[in-house]
Amino acid sequence: MSDIVDVQTNDQKAEDLKAVGWVSYILHLIVAVGAIIPGAQPGAALLIIALVLDLVKKGDAEGTWQASHFSWRIRTVIWAGVLYIVTAPLWLLFLLPGWIAWALISLWFLYRIVRGMVAMNKSQAVDA
């Protein structure tokens, strides 16, 4: 009986966290689309807000399928940040390679966000 209650509790926790997940994914999506459309940079503030939200609420998702989404979004932001920093010198040395590198990183970022949104819409964990 206790296992059934735990499953229901975890399912309810996961559903309760969907609103937080959607807010975070939408903030990430705005940043991702803005990174691809020239001149439409919404700034890093939205990304930082989403990252802080994910870091604060991640513990609430433990034991649910939502935990994978919090980790997914956090890892996506960290990897994108590292890749942008590593490729930043290309902008200083060669304009075109820098633009190509950042465009590819931005497309990868957008793919990860959309993939996560699709999985969350299906109430499924996102694969690592």
Helix, strand, coil abundance in the chain, percent, nearest 5: 85, 0, 15
Average pLDDT over residues 87-99: 84
Residue 90 lies in a domain: yes
Determine what percent of the chain is predicted with pLDDT higher than 90. Answer: 57
Residue 126 lies in a domain: no
Residue 58 lies in a domain: yes
Residue 128 lies in a domain: no
Residue 29 lies in a domain: yes
Average predicted confidence (pLDDT) for the chain: 87
Residue 61 lies in a domain: yes
Residue 117 lies in a domain: yes
| Residue 3 confidence (pLDDT) | 52
**How many structural domains are present in the chain?**
1
pTM given for the model: 0.84
Residues 6+ apart with CB under 8 A from 64: 10, 11, 13, 14, 17
- Domain hosting residue 33, numbered range: 2-121
pLDDT bin (cut points 50, 70, 90) of residue 111 is very high
Residue 46 lies in a domain: yes
| Residue 6 confidence (pLDDT) | 53
